[in-house]
Amino acid sequence: MEKWAIGVFASLDAGLGVNLNVAQELGIKTIQLHAPQQSSRTKENADAFLAKLNDMGITLTCVFGGFEGESYADIPTTQKTVGLVPAETRAARTAEMKEIADFANLLGCKCVGLHIGFIPHDTSDPQYAQVVAVAQELCDHCKTMGQSVHLETGQETADGLLQFIGDVARDNLKVNFDPANMILYGTGEPIEAVKKVGKHLGSVHCKDAKWAANPGQEWGQEVPVGQGDVNFESYLSALQEVGYEGPLTIEREIPQEPERQKQEIGHAVTVLTDLKSKILG
């Protein structure tokens, strides 16, 4: 695959990604896939989906897990409902995440990703050790299939993420870096953060956002690529500096407005293509 192949976050029957036809129309050659509903994760569906991707000339680079009951309504709700951190749903979601990894394996995909949730900042909190253990369990399951696990950034500072990766101590645990999430959650300056976690990068998102008036207390605002506070030229330069060569996956989470979503993803493709040729020459 070419360096920094432009990708898009896509979905089949669940999740916030775009329809595959949009990727094809825009000439996008790589996708990350939001895992389909449990009932669709069959060998038969995997084979049919792979055949479709093959016909379209599209490569699948990562399968992302998401769970029933997750809500990103505001920061406190996200803390309570997202990922593998909430104790009451942890066992069921860990089991489901392993099933998603098995489905990714049927698709020949060596990467699974997820928002693990708000990891406790206090490492002496008993919940912290439990989340470390669950991450180890998931990494060990994926390792048997030669897969890596990519943690989506946002809820942690770069330092918090480095601490957690060090404590999990699994060589197949990587970062899916989303610069907009650092701004949306108010967890740190994205360019600085990407340089800090650079050696752990497994994949990246290209999404833009504006800082909230009270970062960390309330959400920032997601906006089209190039209209927010990320500064994509600095972002791509930082990716170049840390030696990242994988896809640049555009994520634009407005599935209820498909025409606008398509238009804004098309604009992001133009912005990234121009910057890519400027930086890579």
Instruction: Show me where the domains of the chain are located.
Output: 6-280
Predicted model pTM: 0.96
* Statement: residue 65 has pLDDT above 90: yes
> Whole-angstrom Cα distance, residue 205 to residue 9?
8
CA-to-CA distance for 204 and 46, rounded, in angstroms? 24
Structure confidence at residue 13 (pLDDT): 79
Q: What is the DSSP letter of 215?
A: B
pLDDT at position 63 is: 98
**pLDDT tens per residue, range 72-131:** 999 999 999 999 999 999 999 999 999 999 999 999 999 999 999 999 999 999 999 999
- Spatial distance between the Cα atoms of 14 and 125, rounded to a whole number of angstroms: 34
Nearest residue to 181 via CA among 204, 213, 160: 204
**Cα separation, 129 vs 123, whole angstroms:** 7
Superfamily of domain 6-280: Divalent-metal-dependent TIM barrel enzymes (3.20.20.150)
User: Could you tell me what percent of the chain has a pLDDT over 70?
Assistant: 100
Give the up-direction half-sphere exposure of residue 197: CA atoms within 13 A in the CB hemisphere: 35
Q: What is the pLDDT of residues 229-265, one digit of tens each?
A: 999 999 999 999 999 999 999 999 888 898 999 999 9
Mean pLDDT of 24-43: 95
Percent of the chain with pLDDT over 90: 94
Within 10 angstroms of residue 162's Cβ, the number of other Cβ atoms is 17
pLDDT reading at 16 higher than 90: no
